[in-house]
Copies of this chain bind each other. A is one copy, B any other.
């Protein structure tokens, strides 16, 4: 079975990674690509290494009224830009929205695929989690589900590679010379990802994430995202690791490791690595989650979600090993 798929937002980093994964997906046939800054170009003009069979596909201006027949549409648009347009996509076209407009929106499944695959399978509208929530919640879910930590006292320090800021029209803050050799905290006490994290913590634990603190940072690397999370709970390190290994038993994409996870372990893949260190005498648990922000944090999880909603094996086309070094 081959499904006809499209990408809107092909010019951005999330769209580009979706293209790479879809190009290698045995059941997806890319028949439509849309973007703003690259409309009118052929795919090969924008992505010189695209497979030859896709080279001459012309990137179209994004217009939901002029879609070809599609089974699945991947949308990777800036936050605030997809809600109205995606509402006009025919119901027959399944959508995975990598952007931020539909997380916990009515009618949309929340696509935390490693944790809630059953909420996604069979749906036709899925909102991909944000990159920070993906790493954070993957690390926290086993502890919250097992009651090993208190949902109301969670302090997240998150670090992302600069592709997480998007291509952004060339904002000079993200220029090479100014970003290289620089480490930048931002969005203190007001980051857009907090409600999504808080809602999911509440669903996983049954309690309130009242004390949530979330501090994001930009790190001088292209890809990679790490969440270092300080929690309150009386578990030992072994109990945390065991809980996570049980929680993710049989799941393809989450690896529970004894050593602290490094972002490079995940580069180019849909994997998430989680680990834990605890000091039960101090009611202290440190949880860590490492992903590729464009993989599990964006396009990788999006393809996993598309597989789920299309009834394909979950790992199809996203089982590539990470790129090292």
Residues of A in contact with B (beta carbons under 8 Å apart) = 13, 16-17, 19-20, 23-24, 47-52, 155, 157, 159, 161-163, 167-186, 188-189, 211, 213, 215, 217, 219-224, 226, 228, 230, 252, 255, 257, 260-269, 271, 273, 277-279, 282, 284, 286, 288, 290, 319-325
Closest Cβ neighbor of A260 among chain B residues: B185
A49 to B262, CA, bound (A): 11
Whether the pair B178, A264 counts as a contact (CB closer than 8 A) is: yes
| Residues of chain B with a CB closer than 8 A to A223's CB | 181, 325
A13 to B324, CA, bound (A): 8
Known: A159-B217, A175-B174. A183 touches B49 (CB 8 A): no
Q: Smallest CB–CB gap between A295 and chain B, Å?
A: 10
| Residues of chain B with a CB closer than 8 A to A255's CB | 48-49
Q: Smallest CB–CB gap between A214 and chain B, Å?
A: 10
Whether the pair A224, B264 counts as a contact (CB closer than 8 A) is: no
| Residues of chain B with a CB closer than 8 A to A181's CB | 161, 180-181, 221-224, 263-264, 267
| Residues of chain B with a CB closer than 8 A to A290's CB | 183
| Residues of chain B with a CB closer than 8 A to A16's CB | 324-325
**Sample of 5 more A-B contacts, CB < 8 Å, known A159-B217, A183-B290, A211-B282:** A176-B180, A176-B220, A177-B222, A182-B221, A320-B320
Q: Smallest CB–CB gap between A131 and chain B, Å?
A: 14
Whether the pair B162, A176 counts as a contact (CB closer than 8 A) is: yes
Q: For A286, give its contact among B215, B262, B265 (CB under 8 Å).
A: B215
Whether the pair A20, B324 counts as a contact (CB closer than 8 A) is: yes
Whether the pair B189, A286 counts as a contact (CB closer than 8 A) is: yes
Whether the pair B48, A226 counts as a contact (CB closer than 8 A) is: no
A24 to B252, CA, bound (A): 15
A170, A185, A263, A324 interface centre (most CB from chain B within 10 Å):
A324
A174 to B175, CA, bound (A): 6
Closest Cβ neighbor of A223 among chain B residues: B181
| Residues of chain B with a CB closer than 8 A to A169's CB | 170, 172
Whether the pair A180, B180 counts as a contact (CB closer than 8 A) is: yes
Closest Cβ neighbor of A162 among chain B residues: B176
Closest Cβ neighbor of A282 among chain B residues: B211
Q: Smallest CB–CB gap between A86 and chain B, Å?
A: 25
A134 to B221, CA, bound (A): 25
Whether the pair A277, B188 counts as a contact (CB closer than 8 A) is: yes
Whether the pair B321, A228 counts as a contact (CB closer than 8 A) is: no
A174, A179, A182, A230 interface centre (most CB from chain B within 10 Å):
A182
Whether the pair B213, A49 counts as a contact (CB closer than 8 A) is: no
A51 to B255, CA, bound (A): 10
Q: For A172, give its contact among B170, B182, B228 (CB under 8 Å).
A: B170
Q: Smallest CB–CB gap between A56 and chain B, Å?
A: 14
Closest Cβ neighbor of A19 among chain B residues: B321
Whether the pair A177, B163 counts as a contact (CB closer than 8 A) is: yes
Q: For A49, give its contact among B51, B220, B230, B271 (CB under 8 Å).
A: B271
